[in-house]
Amino acid sequence: MFRGISSLNLDDKGRLAIPTRYRDELQDCCERQLVVTVAVNELCVGEAGCLWLYPLPEWEKLEQTISKLPTLNKMAGKLRRFLIGNASECEMDAQGRLLLPEKLRRFANMEKKIVLVGQLNKFEIWNEDAWTAKEAEWLAGEDNDGLEELGTLSF
């Protein structure tokens, strides 16, 4: 399970260094094999400034779920195009670095400063400015869609 936020820098080659606290778990759960793709929002379009990073076994579960969606459903088609079509397999090297494909870095406007956010079974990788803006939006309470779906969730 991945949790927490880390501020990171991309190097000149477009690599990020996975924080040490996650490296052993990534070795154990997926032998350093990961998949990075665009993050999608509720409209099944790319979330500006954000990528998703999955350990390979978690990604394969998601692919199985998506493969069962109706082929002719418009939203399912958009989801497949964005999520699966932009997916790229990558391997964490022995130093814990991961190369983000140039196309995905461009899509998320990632040049140097990024934020890695643990999301239980995956990570979100955010352009730092996009993360700051989105966090401010959430704190302002401007996006409360789906609140009723949380039901009686308590902490």
User: pLDDT per residue over 65-85, tens digit each?
Assistant: 999 999 899 888 888 988 999
Q: What is the mean pLDDT of residues 22-38?
A: 96
**Tokens standing for residue 5:** 């936020």
pLDDT, residue 65, reads: 94
Domain chopping of the chain, boundaries? 5-142
**Which of these, 7, 13, 6, lies nearest to 93 by C-alpha position?**
13
Residue 49 in 3-state DSSP? Answer: strand
Residue 49: name the closest of 5, 98, 3, 110 by CA: 110
Of the listed ranges 41-45, 56-60, 74-78, 151-155, the least confidently predicted one is 151-155
Which one is predicted more confidently, 48 or 98? 98
∠ at Cα 62 (59, 68), nearest 5°? 145
Whether the predicted pLDDT of 152 surpasses 90? no
Cβ(128)–Cβ(115) below 8 Å: yes
The residue-averaged pLDDT of 30-46 equals 86
Task: Tell me the average pLDDT across 45-66.
Answer: 92
Average pLDDT over residues 43-71: 90
Query: If you write DSSP's letter for every residue of 85-150 in order, what string do you get?
Result: TT-EEEE--TTSEEEPPHHHHHHTT-SSEEEEEE-BSSEEEEEHHHHHHHHHHHHTT---TTGGGG
Task: Report the distance separating Cα 108 and Cα 31, nearest Å.
Answer: 26
Per-residue model confidence as pLDDT tens digits over 123-138: 999 999 999 998 898 8
44 pLDDT tier (thresholds 50, 70, 90): low
- Provide the pLDDT for residue 153: 53
Q: Are 56 and 30 in contact (CB under 8 A)?
A: yes
Rounded distance, CA 143 to CA 127, Å? 20
Which class in CATH covers the domain with range 5-142? Answer: alpha beta
